[in-house]
Every structure is written in structure tokens, then in C-alpha cells.
A = this chain, B = another copy of it.
Amino acid sequence: MKIRQLFDYDTWTYTYLLWDEATKEAAVIDSVLEQVERDTQHIQELGLNVKYLLETHIHADHITGAGPIRKRTKGKIVVHRNSGSECADILADEGDSFKLGEQEIKVLHTPGHTNTDITYLIEGAAFTGDTLFVRDCGRTDFQLGSNEDMYHSLTEKLFTLPEDTLVFPAHDYKGFSQSTIGEEKQFNSRVGNGKSFKDFSTIMDGLNLPNPKRLDISVPGNLKCGDLDD
């Protein structure tokens, strides 16, 4: 599977294009509304046939570009079933999978940041959304986030993947672009090196982060799949 990482500078969001080189069947993970022109031009130049628009969760910090891209590509929007999304084409859950040519993208439910988090797995790489960041993890203090769920998703699900699995997060705030499961097991600041749930929970409860600036418009916008004019 070919992977291309794209960055939205204003919201520190990573969008990913995945495609099967043989058939050019493609998926877009976590597009950003303001980048739809860039992304659709890139899709066209690469000659890709977008089959799936995969969302790792209902975002609170930006509005997805999935709806507008669907109109131009006929790709199907995939969101976790807990979202109750009425604009998505597929409400996915653990164990579901999607094919690009002969290659498979598998769904792992990894809640904790919200209750809608999906990690998309391909051979050798995990697209971990706001669950696992490089040396960090997503916040757990709104949108049905939960320290218990996050700790379980990180330590019992993601950290049981092969250690050389590449980690591609939905955001980074320090300039990292990727990591591996092995590195995160060892060096993740929140749960690495065998940190206990109690220590993890103390860190998370002490973060005192301000609400995302775009929270009020992002969640409703994402429940419309970014089709704000419809």
C-alpha cells in the first residue's frame, strides 16, 4: 500500500492518502474541509479512484472534508457506529475491513479520546487518529472520553501490535510525522515504559487543557460530514 501524508498547518492535522498501486483504488483518512481543493487535485494528479473516506473519529478541532470529497469522487464515508452519524455511508465497528485492490484496511475500535475512535490497520502501519500520538496521546476530557478506555486502547490493543508497526497519528504538535509501536511502548510520555493506570490517570487529569477553539462548530459540522450547505 502506498501512503502519502498531508498536513493542515492551521489545525496541525495529518490527512493520509492510501492507495493500492496495482488498481489505484484509494482511501483518504481524516481530510480537512479547508484542504479539499488541494487534496482533490492531488488525488486527480495521482490518478486515484477513491473508494473510502475514513474518519478516525468525530473531530472537535476541525471540520472534515469527507462530504465535499465524496461529491467529487463517489467515495464512501466511514465513521464509527457510536457516532450515530446520519451522513456517513458506513457505520463501522471492530473487525470490519475495507479492500483497496487486494489489500485490506482493518478497523480496530480504540476509544478513549472519544467513544468513536477507530485505528485503521494495514500491513505494517496503524493510523491511530487521536488515540496514539508520537510520544503522547489524545485528551480524554470531553466527547465521552475516558481514561480507562484510553489506557485499555493503548496498552491492550495498540501495544500488542508488532513492534515494527509504523504509527501514523492524526495530529502532531512538535513536528514528528511517524513512530513505531515499539518506540511508543518504550518512550510514550503518558503510557510508555509500563506506566500504571494510576500514573497515567494522574497525568491525564492534570492536563487542564482549554477547549479546542473550533469545538462549537467542529462537532456539528462533522455530524454533517462537512457538507455545511446541505
Q: How far is the CB of A66 from chain B (nearest CB, A)?
A: 17
Copy number in the complex reads 2
B-contact bits for A171-185, CB 8 A (1 contact / 0 none): 010111110000100
Q: Are A4 and B178 in contact (CB under 8 A)?
A: yes
Q: How far is the CB of A80 from chain B (nearest CB, A)?
A: 26
Q: How far is the CB of A154 from chain B (nearest CB, A)?
A: 18
Considering the complex, which residues of chain A in the window 163-199 have a beta carbon less than 8 Å from any beta carbon of chain B? 172, 174-178, 183, 186-187
Q: Are A177 and B9 in contact (CB under 8 A)?
A: no
Which residue on B lies nearest to A32, using beta carbons? Answer: B175
The answer for the CA separation of A6 and B175 in the assembled complex, in Å, is 5
A211 touches B (CB below 8 Å): no
Q: Are B177 and A45 in contact (CB under 8 A)?
A: no
Provide the main secondary structure of the chain A interface: mixed
The answer for the CA separation of A46 and B186 in the assembled complex, in Å, is 10
A7 touches B (CB below 8 Å): yes
Q: Are B177 and A4 in contact (CB under 8 A)?
A: yes
Which residue on B lies nearest to A164, using beta carbons? Answer: B21
Q: How far is the CB of A173 from chain B (nearest CB, A)?
A: 8
The answer for the CA separation of A4 and B183 in the assembled complex, in Å, is 13
Q: Which residues of B contact A45 (CB under 8 A)?
A: 183, 186-187
The answer, among B4, B7, B38, B174, for a CB contact under 8 Å with A38, is B174
Contact surface of A with B, Cβ cutoff 8 Å: 4-9, 35, 38, 42, 45-46, 172, 174-178, 183, 186-187
- Given A4-B178, A8-B175, A42-B176, output 9 extra A-B contacts at Cβ < 8 Å: A4-B177, A6-B175, A6-B176, A6-B177, A7-B7, A7-B172, A7-B176, A35-B175, A45-B183
